[in-house]
Amino acid sequence: MNYPHPLIAREGWPFIAGSLVVALLVSAAGAWSLPFWLIFIFCVQFFRDPARVVAGGPKSIVAPADGRIVVVEETDDPYLNRRALKISVFMNVFNVHSNRAPVECSVLQKWYNPGSFLNAALDKASVENERCALHLRTTDGRDVTCVQIAGLVARRILNYVDAGAKLQPGQRYGFIRFGSRVDLYLPLDSKAKVVIGEKVYASSTILAELA
């Protein structure tokens, strides 16, 4: 189990504290405070960061985020210029938004691209939306590209690793605020273990197995 952070993600502390203060002030003033308490409750649930068991073995690719599978296909990896197996996880505003390493690996390169804020469930979000990509290399030399993508509501991608970092499977490396997506580009001979529409959970769901 990999869980180095509190139950409530630190990225949410300012939002939770701010919404709580506003709700308390409105309540103390005797005004109708229900909407403000609902905002506070939403912030608490959005920034929750529960502990997760890391599934699989050394060749397992685990889910980098909670959400729903929206893509499983062979396509071009625009970062490493190769054909790859692409698996995409779409996160709505009710999913946990911590992003976790899909495999034991080293970070070789990091790319940030500004862009639009289209619905992250759309295919074109992969190339048009704001995104941050990592080139990961496994301990046995396989290349994986992991891409955080901002969505329609998401306006902030947080990524805490740079080239040279070492990651364990399930290790927390980033966060995306308020609805988003993560794309994985895997070696073409990887075997997918999920299907479109399936719900997955960060670290606990195996997305694919490397050959």
Q: Which residues are catalytic?
A: 180
3-state helix, strand, coil in the chain (%, to 5): 15, 40, 45
Strands (E), the chain: 60-62, 67-77, 82-91, 98-100, 105-113, 131-138, 143-150, 156-159, 166-167, 172-177, 180-186, 191-192, 199-200, 206-209
Rg (the chain; Cα; Å): 18
- The single-letter DSSP state of residue 210 is -
Q: Helix (H, G, I), strand (E, B), or coil: what is residue 104?
A: coil
C-alpha distances in Å from residue 152, one per residue of 125, 128, 180, 195: 10, 12, 8, 24
